[in-house]
A and B are shown apart, each in its own frame.
Chain A
Amino acid sequence: MERIGRPKMINYSMFELNETMLNAKYGLPSEIKYCRSCVISNQRPNSTVEYQHTQKSKKETIHFDEEGVCDACRFAQSKNKTIDWKQREQELIELCNKYRKNDGSYDCLIPGSGGKDSFYAAHILKYKYGMHPLTVTWAPHIYTPWGWKNFQAWLNAGFDNFLCTPNPRTHRLLTRLAVENLFHPFQPFIFGQKSLAPKMALLHDIKLVFYGENEAEYGNPISDTSTAKRDWKYFTAEDKSKVYLGGVSLEALESNFGVESVDLLPYIPADPDEIERKKVEVHYLGYYLRWHPQECYYYAVENGGFKPSPERTVGTYSKYNSIDDKIDDFHYYTTYIKFGIGRSTYDAAQEIRNEEITREEGVALVKKFDGEFPERFAEEIFQYLSIPERDFPVAFKRFEQPMMDRDYFMALTDTFRSPHLWKRVYGSWKLRHPIYEE
């Protein structure tokens, strides 16, 4: 068995200014285009089935129509104009009437972090639509202090909750592997985020699961939204031998990295047969209620003790979304490296679609904040990504350099840059086609 080697030196000639052979990694479109309506680029990958995500995976990317407008913007326009929200709310009331229980048991399950969106979802379902929700939470890699306080504030607004914290040693190893193989430190979180709720629903015999926003809001294919039922493929893997975590198969994790199968339990999705047999339904609240992130923030402040973070989030201008995990900064840094899309681009695109800011403002924000290196938690994250012998006696041997440090991370970063996105200018990295140079 080979070890995972130190990052290889990259061939800088591929990144020269006048280089014309610009290979696009990850199956990304070779020509970079920006949505005419928001600031997202055509490089944005759709949500994938993370259990099959390996180094060889090719991305499917956001669809732009013939007018150069992305699906997420089209969806927002239809949301704002064509959808009859009164009718949709009526559908929600009927759904709730069908599932509501008054026998002292839970009637729906709401996964969430206690951020503004899950606060809104749980609160409105309980207090406006008379449901009896159980909330479940998949722990972040490393809580920020304000993230933990908001989580507590959520429960204090009147909810039972199960917090599932995967074994941090396994989680660290998977995160390291996901970084090495996929440059995707957020991936281990995504597993639990998607699989925990259906599993907990089975465990507690709850037939109705509510997610918040529909992913189509951010640009997965529009056809996904014609039904609110969540596509099974996102959280059910039918054959466990086909499952990869951090780009490594379950089998290899056990035989090479000293992981026991019980350690992987939290990451394994629910059995689709059982979900079908027990008739667990998964619905998006965003299908029924018009989702407006900023109004969720107001709602969470007014109805609970939600607080924005005390400082601007690295790589963007906002303080109120996705603020509870210290690894988040790195997640968006890696998307910036791989796809040229940083956190500010995601935030601005969303706010443009919701008509909070103009495209012009969005472009200025992207120019100012996108791709900022996440200095504030860097040392802590490097420690988190390290695999010392004491904690990982087997996995330790599988890394040429088990300890992560800044030099290693920066060298690894460069191996994930795609020549069609990046160029070298006087020894520093620049995007070849940033939106503000259009």
Chain B
Amino acid sequence: MSNIRLIARLDVKGPNLVKGVQLEGLRKIGDPNVFAKEYYDQGIDELIYIDIVASLYERNNLLEIVRRTTKDVFIPLTVGGGLRTVENVRDVLRAGADKVAINTAAIKRPELIREISKRFGSQCMVLSIEAKKVREGKWEAYYDNGREKTGIDVIEWAKRGYEHGAGEILLTSVDMEGTAKGFDIDLVKAASDAVPIPLIASGGMGNVNDMINVINDGCADAIAMAHVLHYKKLTIQEVREYAASRNVNVRRLKLWSR
């Protein structure tokens, strides 16, 4: 079994790292580069940058932040938000990103998934899904940072995304995001049962047990954290040590050798 990856998710708006609750009411936290460097130094496995208002404003201005980050952060970096074309993706990868996360543009034109994975490889095509619970066992995909409904069933969409060539899925629960009340485990389980590609669970982590639950019961391949890190409720070291103590395969690293 491969390692469970620990990922710090950084939502960015303009020059600021921000954090919402259920993707709403975005609070300014600080300079994203400072936080990214800090998480890297603490030993995070990967970083995700999402410009969460890019689609809303139809703009994309993460390039500069990506360039600055990749100067002193040497772990896989996924970048999303407002990427609409293969050219947008190329620019982000050239700026130093390793993978791209696509939501809005893929919903509007699913062929984009295939175009990106064909051109750059499926390993770099992360399908980002914002899932809102409709009822027990049923979720609807949203876009524009949890603002717009699609009528599309999340599990069906995950399957289609996989068929189109997505190499990974970033699955965010709109209901749990920012609440620190735990992941939507049923959602993660349903999606991970439906597709064979790696699945990053995002939204709701409030403590280390939430992580264990979504790994053991939800079969997540990776954990995205934001609230607990940004508000300094947990360190990455604490998370990693706890995971190891509960027999979860995580990367064992000699910290501080960096």
Q: Let me know if A317 and B56 touch, CB within 8 A.
A: yes
A276 to B25, CA, bound (A): 41
Q: Let me know if B21 and A298 touch, CB within 8 A.
A: yes
Q: Scoring A residues 285 to 321 as 1 if CB is less than 8 Å from chain B, else 0, what string do you get?
A: 0000000001001100100000110111000011110
A361 to B149, CA, bound (A): 22
One of A297, A298, A301, A364 near B57 (C-beta < 8 A):
A364
Q: Scoring B residues 54 to 86 as 1 if CB is less than 8 Å from chain A, else 0, what string do you get?
A: 001110000000000000000000000000000
Tell me how far the C-beta of B233 lies from the nearest C-beta in chain A, rounded to whole angstroms.
13
- B97-152 interface (Cβ within 8 A of A): 132, 144, 146-149
A312 to B53, CA, bound (A): 14
Q: Which A residues are in CB contact (< 8 Å) with B26?
A: 294, 356
One of A297, A301, A308, A358 near B14 (C-beta < 8 A):
A358
- Tell yes or no: A368 within 8 A of B by CB: yes
- Tell yes or no: A69 within 8 A of B by CB: no
Q: Let me know if B27 and A307 touch, CB within 8 A.
A: no
A361 to B26, CA, bound (A): 14
Q: Let me know if B56 and A297 touch, CB within 8 A.
A: no
CB contact under 8 A between A320 and B25, given known A310-B132, A311-B147? yes
Q: Which B residues are in CB contact (< 8 Å) with A368?
A: 56
Top 8 A-B pairs ranked by shortest CB distance? A312-B147, A297-B25, A308-B24, A319-B24, A364-B57, A294-B25, A301-B21, A320-B24
Tell me how far the C-beta of A347 lies from the nearest C-beta in chain B, rounded to whole angstroms.
12
A308 to B58, CA, bound (A): 24
CB contact under 8 A between A318 and B53, given known A311-B149, A312-B148? no
Q: Which A residues are in CB contact (< 8 Å) with B213?
A: none
CB contact under 8 A between A307 and B149, given known A361-B53, A361-B57, A368-B56? no
- 27 A-B pairs with CB atoms under 8 Å apart are A294-B26, A294-B27, A298-B21, A298-B25, A298-B27, A301-B179, A307-B22, A308-B21, A308-B24, A310-B132, A311-B147, A311-B149, A312-B147, A312-B148, A317-B56, A317-B147, A318-B24, A319-B146, A320-B24, A356-B26, A356-B28, A361-B14, A361-B53, A361-B57, A364-B56, A364-B58, A365-B57
Q: Which B residues are in CB contact (< 8 Å) with A361?
A: 14, 53, 57
Q: Which B residues are in CB contact (< 8 Å) with A364?
A: 56-58
Q: Which B residues are in CB contact (< 8 Å) with A318?
A: 24
A361 to B18, CA, bound (A): 15
A368 to B132, CA, bound (A): 23
B140 (CB) vs chain A CBs: closest residue: A310
Residues of A within 8 A of B (CB): 294, 297-298, 301, 307-308, 310-312, 317-320, 356, 358, 361, 364-365, 368
Not counting A312-B148, A319-B146, a sample of 15 additional A-B residue pairs whose C-beta atoms are within 8 angstroms of each other reads A294-B26, A294-B27, A298-B25, A307-B22, A308-B24, A308-B25, A311-B149, A317-B56, A319-B24, A320-B24, A356-B26, A361-B14, A361-B57, A364-B56, A368-B56
Q: Which A residues are in CB contact (< 8 Å) with B21?
A: 297-298, 301, 308
Q: Which A residues are in CB contact (< 8 Å) with B25?
A: 294, 297-298, 308, 320
The interface size bin for chain B is 10 to 19
Tell me how far the C-beta of B5 lies from the nearest C-beta in chain A, rounded to whole angstroms.
29
A361 (CB) vs chain B CBs: closest residue: B57
Q: Let me know if A297 and B53 touch, CB within 8 A.
A: no
Tell me how far the C-beta of A39 lies from the nearest C-beta in chain B, rounded to whole angstroms.
14
Q: Which A residues are in CB contact (< 8 Å) with B28?
A: 356
B142 (CB) vs chain A CBs: closest residue: A311
Q: Scoring B residues 30 to 60 as 1 if CB is less than 8 Å from chain A, else 0, what string do you get?
A: 0000000000000000000000010011100
Q: Interface majority SS on A: helix, strand, loop or mixed?
A: loop
Tell me how far the C-beta of A50 lies from the nearest C-beta in chain B, rounded to whole angstroms.
30
A358 to B53, CA, bound (A): 13
Tell me how far the C-beta of B81 lies from the nearest C-beta in chain A, rounded to whole angstroms.
14
A308 to B23, CA, bound (A): 10
A364 to B13, CA, bound (A): 14
Q: Which B residues are in CB contact (< 8 Å) with A307?
A: 22
B18 (CB) vs chain A CBs: closest residue: A356
A46 to B26, CA, bound (A): 29
Q: Which A residues are in CB contact (< 8 Å) with B53?
A: 361
A317 to B143, CA, bound (A): 12
Q: Let me know if B24 and A365 touch, CB within 8 A.
A: no
A424 to B56, CA, bound (A): 28
Q: Which A residues are in CB contact (< 8 Å) with B22?
A: 307-308, 319
Q: Let me know if B56 and A365 touch, CB within 8 A.
A: yes
Tell me how far the C-beta of B64 lies from the nearest C-beta in chain A, rounded to whole angstroms.
16
A311 to B175, CA, bound (A): 12
Residue with the highest number of chain B CB atoms closer than 10 Å, among A312, A320, A368: A312
A319 to B145, CA, bound (A): 11
Tell me how far the C-beta of A237 lies from the nearest C-beta in chain B, rounded to whole angstroms.
38
Q: Which B residues are in CB contact (< 8 Å) with A317?
A: 56, 147
Q: Which B residues are in CB contact (< 8 Å) with A294?
A: 25-27
Tell me how far the C-beta of A435 lies from the nearest C-beta in chain B, rounded to whole angstroms.
15
A294 to B149, CA, bound (A): 23
A349 to B27, CA, bound (A): 17
Tell me how far the C-beta of A324 lies from the nearest C-beta in chain B, rounded to whole angstroms.
16
Tell me how far the C-beta of B19 lies from the nearest C-beta in chain A, rounded to whole angstroms.
10
A301 to B182, CA, bound (A): 15
Residue with the highest number of chain B CB atoms closer than 10 Å, among A310, A318, A368: A310
A294 (CB) vs chain B CBs: closest residue: B25
Q: Which B residues are in CB contact (< 8 Å) with A310?
A: 132
A115 to B14, CA, bound (A): 28
A310 to B24, CA, bound (A): 11
A313 (CB) vs chain B CBs: closest residue: B147
Tell me how far the C-beta of A155 lies from the nearest C-beta in chain B, rounded to whole angstroms.
21
A361 to B13, CA, bound (A): 10
A297 to B27, CA, bound (A): 11
Q: Which A residues are in CB contact (< 8 Å) with B58?
A: 364
Q: Which A residues are in CB contact (< 8 Å) with B179?
A: 301
A293 (CB) vs chain B CBs: closest residue: B25
A310 to B58, CA, bound (A): 22
Q: Which B residues are in CB contact (< 8 Å) with A320?
A: 24-25
Tell me how far the C-beta of B213 lies from the nearest C-beta in chain A, rounded to whole angstroms.
22
Q: Which A residues are in CB contact (< 8 Å) with B149?
A: 311
- B154-184 interface (Cβ within 8 A of A): 179
